Amino acid sequence: MADEQVPRDAAGHEMQLVMPFVVCQSKGGPYDDESFTVGWHAARIDTALQWGELFGADQFTFTVRSPLLPQLDLIGMRYHYTMTTLPWPDDLADQMGGEDTAAAVRAEWTQIRYQAAPEHTP
């Protein structure tokens, strides 16, 4: 374990999971780490929208990996939500501790908002 490499984000910051995905290749499992993580993230959003439709939530906001956008748009449509992307705040560099980190975040991540279609709003 001591020689295990710590994963890093695009800006070089160390990342650790609170609950490791022990079925991923980095932990000796059969599944690709990146694919498993992205699938997990999409499934969590799918579940949130499913419950939102059931209980009448009209809006959700998430920060997601940008390549997931086409799939997340389809997931939103499934539950009668429209998806839009949101601009990053003007002070993102201040929030993230510098422009290099903010640029890395902007390159890899997108903020999205789901809004319930009018005919499905409580």
Query: Between vectors from CA 64 to CA 22 and to CA 15, what angle results, nearest 5°?
Result: 45
Taking the C-alpha atoms of residue 90 and residue 34, their distance in angstroms, rounded to an integer, is 30
Q: What is the pLDDT of residue 1?
A: 40
Tens-digit pLDDT string for the chain (122 aa): 444 566 666 666 666 656 788 898 988 999 998 899 899 999 999 999 999 999 999 999 999 999 999 999 999 999 999 999 999 999 998 988 899 988 989 999 999 999 998 876 65
Q: What is the pLDDT of residue 11?
A: 66
Q: What is the pLDDT of residue 85?
A: 97
**With contact defined as beta carbons under 8 Å apart, do 116 and 60 qualify?**
no
Domain range list for the chain: 25-120
Q: What is the pLDDT of residue 20?
A: 80
Q: What is the pLDDT of residue 60?
A: 97
